[in-house]
Amino acid sequence: MERCPICKARLKTDTPICPRCSTDLSILMGIDFDAKQLIYDSVSLLEANQLTEAAKVIEQSVQLKRDPLALALQNFIQHKRRVSAELSLL
């Protein structure tokens, strides 16, 4: 997290308290961490060619935080699932 969502102060470190407005950021930082972990889990599932599970996990990540990487990965998985479905019809 680069800025406090309340006062928009720049955060120099991963401190759980904003130095300007004293807002407790620990819950938001936990959500951010969980969303990133789900991205890594989804990539691992994708590497194991478990597309359905990877799609479910990345959806959880996007629900927590609409991170650009998570959205790109979600689009990639959806595309790969469509291609896979089309190939299975041949």
pLDDT, residue 89, reads 85
Whether 7 is covered by a domain: the verdict is: no
Whether 51 is covered by a domain: the verdict is: yes
Number of domains in the chain: 1
Q: How confident is the model at residue 15 (pLDDT cuts 50, 70, 90)?
A: confident
Q: How confident is the model at residue 88 (pLDDT cuts 50, 70, 90)?
A: confident
Strand, coil or helix: 26? helix
Rounded alpha-carbon distances, angstroms, from residue 5 to 9, 14, 44, 66, 80: 8, 14, 31, 15, 35
Whether 79 is covered by a domain: the verdict is: yes
Whether 19 is covered by a domain: the verdict is: no
pLDDT digits (tens, 9 = 90+) for 30-86: 999 999 999 999 999 999 999 999 999 999 999 999 999 999 999 999 999 999 999
CB-side neighbour CA atoms (13 Å) of 50: 11
